[in-house]
Amino acid sequence: MRNPRATQLLFELSKSGRRASRLPASDVPEREVSTMLPAAAIADEAPPLSEVAEPDVVRHFTNLSTLNMSVDTHFYPLGSCTMKHNPKRNERLAGLPGIAHLHPYQPEESVQGLLQLLYDLQEFLAEISGLPAVSLQPAAGAHGELTALMMAAAYFNDLGEKRTKVLTPDSAHGTNPASARMAGFEAVTVKSNAEGLVDLDDLRPKLDDQVGVFMITNPSTLGIFDDQVAEIADLVRKQGGLIYLDGANMNAILGVARPGDFGADMMHFNPHKTFSGPHGGGGPGAGPICVTEKLGGYLPVPVVAKRDGKYSLDCDRSKTIGRVRSFFGNVGVLVRAYCYICTHGPDGLKRVSENAVLNANYLLSKVKHILPVPHGDRCMHEFVASASDVKKVKGISAMDIAKRLLDYGFHAPTVYFPLTVAESMMVEPTESESKEMLDAFAEVLFRVTDEPADLLHEAPHTTTISRPDEVQAARRPVMKWTPA
């Protein structure tokens, strides 16, 4: 039986006078707060904080955690997000006192070990990407995109060129056009062809001397490696533009293909997706970027440098776009990525991608008979199935299937993205999952699509909240729990 207190707010658990700790009486003279702070900084009334005992706080958050799905508790085939297992050893290593307790203002000579780790990570990412200049500073993948596009704008400004456009495929992550707009460019969409690749006939007329960057995700969100990428890079470069590689799907090509070798000038990594690290919950995150040598001078500062056997934070870059976040970056996430890469080594990273691709293709072969995959019988790390046929015949939508999967203990795949596939379900099993888990997931998909439509329309049936009005939930969230 579910504990009703699990979904109560701390304010509802509050009792006047209840405390998690009691401090001894002050042994120093008291002073009026008005003598220490300006009047504008003092509230008229104390904030209405909840008053609860320590067991109430612990139970509240523990009970809340049991309502969530996570990679540690459930299969999480969330396409495009690469929700793989995060090795717990990496968590322990990132939490070592000599790493976790360092202060960002410590003298460089006192943090040589950590600076060496970060320098080596820069070298690892340069080798994996095929792009020699690296910044670890951006705080997320989208932040890395924005940083790189700001560098591109500075690069063209130095050339005396006014480039106003960034091209993105219609299957691109939404962060691509958003980053382009934030960096001051106009985002222009390029269509996909029937095979799900970039439509070169649509691309060519959109290429002119106003195009600064073409942003491409390769492998794409459709789970396809666009083998036209070298030709695309040549077309863009003839107009003087740059190629940006969205590295969200690097889990498919580690040790197999390097973006710098197939035409990229810039890219970002998502360490939490590709290597290791906590995923979700709003952070912390990291989005290291790798760029060609000609763009290296524009990297944000500081960059970890090595001179005469010593490591330092190098801020002496005349063309830098400046700092893009406080201090150095989310170092704990970077440490986890370093540990992951060192654990696997070059051959191990290649096996990660090989197994991710194998698992995705195995699952595709199991489900394509009930949920057709419009873009072929082979994929990279993920595939996009369609519930269109099931919807036409039975009235069951992709959202119905996604919601019903929760009742069976599976997190849903990504639904309704990319928009180029009707009733899309983007599935990424990752290399972490066993054949038995993939078989069980395929069996549940088959069972769900054979259930009565009315049952699915009301799903999920076993969760605290069933099927909210998602539009109203976003616009007018209800933050108070009311017992049924």
Q: What is the pLDDT, as a whole number, of residue 484?
A: 46
Instruction: Give the residue from 44, 48, 57 showing the smallest Cα distance to 13.
Output: 57
Evaluate whether 394 touches 60 at the Cβ level (below 8 Å). no
Residue 459 has pLDDT above 70, yes or no: yes
Residue 252 phi, psi dihedral angles, 5° rounding: -90, -20
Residue 283 has pLDDT above 80, yes or no: no
103-113 average pLDDT score: 94
Residue 327 has pLDDT above 90, yes or no: no
The highest-confidence range among 81-95, 282-296, 340-354, by mean pLDDT, is 340-354
pLDDT in tens, 129-180: 999 999 999 999 999 999 999 999 999 999 999 999 999 999 999 999 999 9
Q: What is the pLDDT, as a whole number, of residue 480?
A: 66
Residue 232 has pLDDT above 60, yes or no: yes
Residue 277 has pLDDT above 90, yes or no: no
Topology match between the domains 91-344 and 347-475: no
Residue 282 has pLDDT above 70, yes or no: no
332-341 average pLDDT score: 96
Banded model confidence at residue 3, pLDDT cuts 50, 70, 90: low
Residue 1 has pLDDT above 80, yes or no: no
Structure tokens belonging to residue 471: 């539009």
Q: What is the pLDDT, as a whole number, of residue 318?
A: 85
- Residue with the bigger pLDDT between 17 and 127: it is 127
Instruction: Give the residue from 366, 281, 364, 245 showing the smallest Cα distance to 61.
Output: 281
- Residue with the bigger pLDDT between 123 and 467: it is 123
Structure tokens belonging to residue 308: 């005469």
Q: Is 130 helix (H, G, I), strand (E, B) or coil?
A: coil
pLDDT in tens, 383-442: 999 999 999 999 999 999 999 999 999 999 999 999 999 999 999 999 999 999 999 999
Q: Does domain 347-475 have CATH number 3.40.1620.10?
A: no
Angle at 241 between CA 239 and CA 243, to 5 degrees: 130
Q: What is the pLDDT, as a whole number, of residue 278?
A: 81
Residue 191 has pLDDT above 90, yes or no: yes
Domain boundaries, the chain: 4-66, 91-344, 347-475
Residue 483 has pLDDT above 60, yes or no: no
pLDDT in tens, 26-79: 999 999 999 999 999 999 888 888 999 999 999 999 888 888 888 889 999 999
List, as own/partner pairs, every contact residues 114-121 make where C-beta atoms lie below 8 angstroms and the sequence separation is at least 24, other chains included: 114/331, 115/304, 115/311, 115/312, 115/313, 116/311, 117/335, 117/338, 118/304, 118/328, 118/331, 118/334, 118/338, 119/304, 119/305, 119/306, 119/311, 120/338, 121/288, 121/334, 121/337, 121/338, 121/341
200-227 average pLDDT score: 97
Q: What is the pLDDT, as a whole number, of residue 271?
A: 93
Phi-psi region of 95 (alpha: psi -120 to 50; beta: other; left: phi over 0): alpha
- Candidates 3.60.9.10, 3.40.50.300, 3.40.640.10, 3.90.1150.10; correct CATH number of 91-344? 3.40.640.10
Evaluate whether 221 touches 426 at the Cβ level (below 8 Å). yes
246-275 average pLDDT score: 96
Q: What is the pLDDT, as a whole number, of residue 281?
A: 61
Beta bridge pairs of residue 384: 426
Q: What is the pLDDT, as a whole number, of residue 314?
A: 93
Banded model confidence at residue 481, pLDDT cuts 50, 70, 90: low
Mean pLDDT of the chain: 93
Structure tokens belonging to residue 404: 């019903």
* 477/431 Cα distance (integer angstroms): 37
